[in-house]
C-alpha cells in the first residue's frame, strides 16, 4: 500500500483515500515533514510533531471511537438520556486515556421534545410528506392543523403579498445559497409569517439538494407575533408544492406536531486536561459540542469534531509529550439549541479568560478538502502560518481566515483570545447537517485521521512554544 500514499500525495490528495491503506505505516507524511522547509524556531518541536502526525495517521483509532460514541449513545439532544449517558462515557473514557483533572461541570439546559409529527397533502391527491419539526417549535392542536399553503421565495415576497397570508400555512421555498444567508429563514421565518397572520410555517430545508432529506435546526419566536408550528420539508417536496401552486392549483395540507418544551434539565460540559509542565496557568483550549440534533447520531455535527480534538490530548499522553502550557479539552453541551455550554464555560472561567492563549474549535465536519482557519492579530497569524509548515505532508499547511466556533466564542470574546477552526468541505457538510443522514457512514477514517493530525500538531506547538502566542 505504501506505493499508494506517495501517489495520493503527488495528486494533491494529501492522504490516502482507502481505508486499508491506513493500517500500514504512515511513512510519507513523516518523510515529507522531515524534508519540509520549516522555520528554524520550530526545530525543538519538530520531532514531537512528527510523532503526533505519525501516530494520528497510523490507524483508525479515532474513527473507531467515533463509531463507538455514535453507535452506542446515538442522538444527543440536550435533555435526552442519550446525552446524559454519553457525558458519563466521555468522562470515564478521558480518565482511562490518562487525561488530568477530568470533570463534568453542571450546565442547566432546555429540554425540547419532538413527539410524533406528520404532514400530508390532502388536496390535490393525498400525499404523505417527510418532515422534521424545527427545534423550539410548538405543537399543533391534537387533531392537526389544516390549511391552504401559500408559497413564497423571499421575505420581500411575503411582505408584498401580506394580504394573502391570513389563515394560511406559509411555505418558504428559498433556494440554498450558503448556510449563513439561508438559515435566517429557519431562525426567523415562523415569526415573520405569524406577523402577517399565518397559522403555520413550512420551510424548504436549509442545505444543498439531498435525497429528499429534511433538515431540522433551531428557530426563535418573537413577542410581536403569535407562536405558530414550524417544520422543515425536503427541497423536492417544497419545489413540488411550489410547482402545483404555480399551475393555479390550491394545495391544502394537514400538519400534526406534538413538539413541546419541558422544564430545564441538568446537563454538563466535560473537561479534561494535560497540565502544562512550565506554565500550567496558561491554557490552549480545544473544543467541540457534544450535543446533537435528534434526527440521527450527529456523527458529523459534531461527534467527529469532539473525537478529533480529544485525540490530540490522548496521543500526547500516550507518546509522553507534556507541553509547556496546559491543553484543556472541553466537550461543550447544548450548542444546538441554547449555547448554554459555551456561556456557562465563559462564566465559570471569566477570571482565567485572559490566560487563554488560543481557542480551537472543530464544528464544521472533516470532509475533504478540509482547512484550518485562524482569526487573531497579525503577529499571531505569522506564527500560526509557520506552524502550518509542519503539516505540508498532509496538505494542510495553508491556514486560511475564519477561525472561531460557537462554543469557544463567549470565552474568546471575553479574553480577546485568538481562535482557530478546523472545517471540512461545506457542501458535503451542509448536505447532511441536522438530517437523518448525519451518520458515520458519510465519514472516511482517513478524513478523521487528517483532522486529528492537524489539530494535534497545531495544539501541541502553540502549547509548547517558548513565547506565548501574541494577542
- Determine if 363 is a binding residue for Zn ion (CB under 5 A): yes
d(C-alpha 170, C-alpha 200), whole Å = 6
Question: Does the bond joining 60 to the residue before it have cis omega, within 30 degrees of 0?
Answer: no
Q: Which is nearer to Zn ion, 301 or 311 (CB)?
A: 301
d(C-alpha 252, C-alpha 256), whole Å = 14
Sign of dihedral through CA atoms 163, 167, 173, 179?
positive
Nearest to 1 by CA among 447, 448, 453, 446: 446
- Determine if 301 is a binding residue for Zn ion (CB under 5 A): yes
Q: Which is nearer to Zn ion, 312 or 423 (CB)?
A: 423
Q: Which of the ranges 50-58, 175-183, 296-304, 408-416 carries the binding residues for Zn ion, by CB under 5 A?
A: 296-304
Give least dist CB 301 to Zn ion, A.
4
Residues 6+ apart with CB under 8 A from 439: 70, 296, 297, 299, 432
Assess contact for 397 and 450: CB atoms under 8 A.
Answer: no
- Determine if 291 is a binding residue for Zn ion (CB under 5 A): no
Give least dist CB 255 to Zn ion, A.
27
Number of residues engaging Zn ion in binding (CB under 5 A): 3
Residues 6+ apart with CB under 8 A from 340: 78, 107, 108, 109, 110, 267, 333, 334
Q: Which residues are catalytic?
A: 335
- Determine if 311 is a binding residue for Zn ion (CB under 5 A): no
Can you read off the three cell numbers belonging to residue 385? 502560518
Q: Which is nearer to Zn ion, 237 or 363 (CB)?
A: 363
Q: Which is nearer to Zn ion, 273 or 302 (CB)?
A: 302
d(C-alpha 203, C-alpha 230), whole Å = 8
E-assigned strand segments in 8-56:
none
H-helix segments, 59-152: 61-73, 81-97
Residue 311 φ/ψ, nearest 5 degrees: -55, -35
Can you read off the three cell numbers belonging to residue 414? 471575553
Give least dist CB 388 to Zn ion, A.
24
- Determine if 302 is a binding residue for Zn ion (CB under 5 A): yes
- Determine if 361 is a binding residue for Zn ion (CB under 5 A): no
Give least dist CB 308 to Zn ion, A.
13
Nearest to 202 by CA among 211, 115, 193: 193
Q: Which of the ranges 89-97, 194-202, 362-370, 454-462 carries the binding residues for Zn ion, by CB under 5 A?
A: 362-370
Q: Which is nearer to Zn ion, 342 or 376 (CB)?
A: 342
Q: Which is nearer to Zn ion, 219 or 390 (CB)?
A: 219
Give least dist CB 210 to Zn ion, A.
18
Alpha-carbon 302 to chain mean position: 4
Q: Which is nearer to Zn ion, 102 or 304 (CB)?
A: 304
Residue 49 φ/ψ, nearest 5 degrees: -60, -40
Q: Which of the ranges 34-42, 129-137, 293-301, 409-417 carries the binding residues for Zn ion, by CB under 5 A?
A: 293-301
Give least dist CB 426 to Zn ion, A.
13
Can you read off the three cell numbers belonging to residue 165? 397570508
Give least dist CB 148 to Zn ion, A.
36
Residue span 320-359 as binding mask against Zn ion, x where in contact by CB under 5 A, dash where not = ----------------------------------------
Name the site residues for Zn ion (rule: CB under 5 A).
301-302, 363
Amino acid at each position: 500500500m505504501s506505493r499508494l500514499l506517495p501517489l495520493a500525495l503527488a495528486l494533491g490528495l494529501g492522504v490516502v483515500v482507502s481505508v486499508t491503506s491506513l493500517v500500514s505505516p504512515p511513512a510519507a507524511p513523516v518523510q515529507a515533514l522531515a524534508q519540509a522547509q520549516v522555520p528554524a524556531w520550530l526545530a525543538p518541536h519538530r520531532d514531537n510533531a512528527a510523532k503526533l502526525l505519525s501516530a494520528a495517521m497510523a490507524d483508525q483509532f479515532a474513527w473507531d471511537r467515533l463509531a463507538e460514541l455514535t453507535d452506542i449513545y446515538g442522538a444527543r439532544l440536550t435533555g435526552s438520556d442519550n446525552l446524559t449517558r454519553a457525558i458519563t462515557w466521555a468522562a470515564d473514557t478521558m480518565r482511562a486515556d490518562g487525561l488530568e483533572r477530568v470533570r463534568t461541570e453542571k450546565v442547566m439546559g432546555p429540554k425540547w421534545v419532538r413527539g410524533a409529527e406528520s404532514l400530508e397533502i390532502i388536496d390535490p391527491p393525498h400525499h404523505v410528506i417527510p418532515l422534521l419539526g424545527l427545534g423550539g417549535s410548538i405543537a399543533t392542536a391534537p387533531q392537526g392543523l389544516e390549511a391552504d399553503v401559500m408559497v413564497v421565495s423571499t421575505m420581500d415576497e411575503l411582505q408584498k403579498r401580506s394580504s394573502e397570508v391570513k389563515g394560511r400555512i406559509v411555505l418558504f421555498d428559498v433556494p440554498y445559497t450558503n448556510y449563513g444567508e439561508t438559515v435566517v429563514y429557519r431562525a426567523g421565518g415562523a415569526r415573520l409569517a405569524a406577523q402577517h397572520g399565518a397559522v403555520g410555517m413550512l420551510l424548504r430545508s436549509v442545505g444543498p439538494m439531498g435525497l429528499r432529506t429534511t433538515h431540522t435546526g433551531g428557530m426563535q419566536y418573537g413577542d410581536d407575533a403569535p407562536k405558530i408550528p414550524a417544520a422543515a420539508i425536503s427541497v423536492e417536496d417544497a419545489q413540488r408544492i411550489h410547482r402545483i401552486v404555480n399551475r393555479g392549483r390550491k394545495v391544502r395540507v394537514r400538519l400534526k406536531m406534538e413538539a413541546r418544551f419541558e422544564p430545564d434539565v441538568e446537563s454538563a460540559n466535560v473537561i479534561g486536561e494535560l497540565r502544562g509542565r512550565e506554565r500550567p496557568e496558561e491554557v490552549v483550549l480545544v473544543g467541540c459540542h457534544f450535543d446533537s440534533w435528534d434526527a440521527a447520531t450527529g456523527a458529523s455535527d459534531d461527534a467527529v469534531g469532539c473525537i478529533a480534538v480529544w485525540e490530540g490530548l490522548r496521543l500526547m499522553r500516550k507518546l509522553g509529550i507534556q507541553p509547556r502550557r496546559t491543553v484543556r479539552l472541553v466537550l461543550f453541551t447544548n450548542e444546538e439549541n441554547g449555547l448554554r455550554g459555551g456561556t456557562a464555560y465563559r462564566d465559570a472561567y471569566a477570571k482565567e479568560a485572559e490566560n487563554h492563549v488560543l481557542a480551537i474549535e472543530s464544528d464544521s465536519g472533516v470532509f475533504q478538502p478540509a482547512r484550518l482557519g485562524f482569526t487573531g492579530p497579525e503577529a499571531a497569524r505569522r506564527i500560526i502560518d509557520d506552524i502550518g509548515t509542519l503539516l505540508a505532508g498532509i496538505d494542510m499547511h495553508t491556514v486560511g481566515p475564519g477561525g472561531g466556533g460557537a462554543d469557544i466564542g463567549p470565552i474568546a470574546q471575553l479574553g480577546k483570545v485568538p481562535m482557530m477552526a478546523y472545517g471540512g468541505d461545506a457542501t458535503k457538510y451542509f448536505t447532511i447537517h441536522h438530517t437523518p443522514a448525519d451518520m458515520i457512514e458519510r465519514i472516511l477514517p482517513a478524513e478523521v485521521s487528517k483532522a486529528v493530525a492537524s489539530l494535534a500538531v497545531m495544539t501541541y506547538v502553540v502549547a509548547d512554544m517558548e513565547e506565548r502566542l501574541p494577542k
